[in-house]
Structure 1
Amino acid sequence: MLYYAKTEALRMLRNRRYMIFVVAFPVLLYLVNANIYGNQTDAGGVKYSVILMVSMAAYGALASSMMSSAVPWATERQSGWLRQLQITPLPSWAIIVTKLGATMVLVLPSLVLVSLAAVVQQHVSLSLGTWAELLLALWLGVLPFVALGLAIGSVLSADAAQPAAMICMFALAIAGGLWFPPEVFGDAMRTVADVTPSFHYARLGQSLVAGHGLPMTDVLVIAGWAVALGGAAAYLYHRATVRS
């Protein structure tokens, strides 16, 4: 099981598209925007260099979790690799857990590199406890997006899974306010955004860096989405393997 997880992680780290669009792109976006707006502050007095760090780290984690789960999962299902795994001593739950664990590992580069860019280039300074809470919250908060990626990979072909995952990723990033401040949304868009997991995911980090602690409402919403999407992913995976 550990060897399978290691193989999964190394395979994605060798993928150039993953490294460029999922790891390097959020860092580049942060550097560009932070050098333009970084010295400004929001209504609570938090510098935009810190807010942008949270937004870009969250976007990188969201993109990484979806792209490293949906497309490989669909490819393995379509190629017959999942059927091969089913005849190994690995139980079905171990296959899913291993894929989940490998995806969670692949989320870390985006979180760490955006944070390092903020510290080195914008001199962002947070207490050690805040750093630990922020990175842990953003890391564990991607569980609904991993589950969504696995659900997409269980029902679509490899060719269709990539654009579907990208559309969902961009829609969630916009709805979550990761590219634009939620304040610019109209009432209708704000209502839609408020029920998305990405909106509450972004608020986790924003609340922590503002010194307000971990908002339990956002934690419960994300947990609810993780359970719902996780259940959907498990059902769709089971249906896909039974049909195979």
Structure 2
Amino acid sequence: MTFHLFRLECLRMLRDPRYLALAVVAPIGFYLLFATIFGGDPTQPGELKGTVEIMVAMAAYGAIWGALSATGPRLAHERSSGWLEQLRSMPVTARHLLTAKIAAGLAVALPAIVLVCVTAAVAKDVRLAAWQWAALVPAMWLGTLPFALLGVVVGLLVGPEAAFPLSYGLYMAASALGGLWVPPARLSAPLQDVAHTLPTYRLADLGWRIAAGHAPTWADVAVLAAWCAGFAALAVLAQGRRPRRARTGAASAAAVG
């Protein structure tokens, strides 16, 4: 049952023009724009070429929105429309549904990473070793898990009217503060400290380090894992509140009757 829900969620996202525009087309367009303007800037020894650094940043940018949009706004809408209640009449548990949502969020994050990397290789002649490509794409893909979990938290806590703007606002703020729009080295020292605590920066840093020929740091893995644990705990708490509210509402209706 979880697989069928996962397949349904993926098909729905791939047919959503907002997903295609914001998670696929926009990162490719931004990559081509920024790589053309800034990609030829001279670099210091040991620094990544601009075309490579921007490639990783825009791949992370698109993947984050794919994971977040597949969970938050859709889950909030399904709660409001009664679709979740209809699923309760089927052999579908909350665990099945949320697992399918999170898996779909990860699945639809992958096209942004792959297509931005392909665009960089074809249009800007970005060349990495085979092992770097083989490590970079899966590492960044798995690194989007915190954002799928964040989307579940948003979808469980807010209504459909607020879910999309809240998700998009968090996405843009975390992308800017996490160094996806401006190289982290060019941020002020206080903002660099903030960036290093954010999952957006740590996701991109996975890719930057692999592209530079290094292994990701334990700090990258630990920060991403901590955000995963935090969002997962919030999702469990948010899901645990829903049945109590439903029972309270049912009890009130019975009392009035």
> What is the CA–CA distance in structure 2 between the aligned matches of 1:107 and 1:241, rounded to whole Å?
31
Deviations 1:141-174 (A, max 9, x none): 0111111111011111111011100110001101
Question: Is 2:5 aligned against 1:4?
Answer: yes
The percentage of counterpart residues that share the same residue type is 36
Structure 2 residue identity aligned to 1:5: F
Aligned to 1:182: 184
> What is the CA–CA distance in structure 2 between the aligned matches of 1:241 and 1:133, rounded to whole Å?
42
Cα deviation for residue 84 of structure 1 reads: 1.6
Aligned to 1:102: 104
Rate the CA distance shift 1:191–1:158 in 2: closer, same or farther, 3 A: same
**What are the equivalent positions in structure 2 for 1:1-244 lying under 5 Å apart?**
1=1, 2-43=3-44, 44-244=46-246
Kindly indicate whether the alpha-carbon contact (under 8 Å) linking 1:83 and 1:241 is maintained by their aligned counterparts in 2.
no
Secondary structure in 2 matching 1:212:
coil
> What is the CA–CA distance in structure 2 between the aligned matches of 1:7 and 1:227, rounded to whole Å?
27
Cα deviation for residue 214 of structure 1 reads: 1.8
CA RMSD of aligned residues (A): 1.3
Kindly indicate whether the alpha-carbon contact (under 8 Å) linking 2:205 and 2:216 is maintained by their aligned counterparts in 1.
no
Cα deviation for residue 41 of structure 1 reads: 4.5
Secondary structure in 1 matching 2:29:
helix
Kindly indicate whether the alpha-carbon contact (under 8 Å) linking 1:155 and 1:240 is maintained by their aligned counterparts in 2.
no
Rate the CA distance shift 1:188–1:214 in 2: closer, same or farther, 3 A: closer
> What is the CA–CA distance in structure 1 between the aligned matches of 2:137 and 2:243, rounded to whole Å?
35
Kindly indicate whether the alpha-carbon contact (under 8 Å) linking 1:58 and 1:202 is maintained by their aligned counterparts in 2.
yes
Aligned to 2:250: none
Deviations 1:71-104 (A, max 9, x none): 0010011111111222311222111111111111
Cα deviation for residue 8 of structure 1 reads: 0.8
Secondary structure in 2 matching 1:46:
coil
> What is the CA–CA distance in structure 2 between the aligned matches of 1:45 and 1:180, rounded to whole Å?
15
> What is the CA–CA distance in structure 1 between the aligned matches of 2:189 and 2:140, rounded to whole Å?
27
Q: Flag the structure with larger Rg.
A: 2
Rate the CA distance shift 1:194–1:214 in 2: closer, same or farther, 3 A: closer
Kindly indicate whether the alpha-carbon contact (under 8 Å) linking 2:67 and 2:147 is maintained by their aligned counterparts in 1.
yes
Structure 1 residue identity aligned to 2:241: R
TM-score (norm 1): 0.96
Moved more, 232-241 or 93-102: 232-241
Cα deviation for residue 215 of structure 1 reads: 1.2
Gaps of 5+ in 1: none
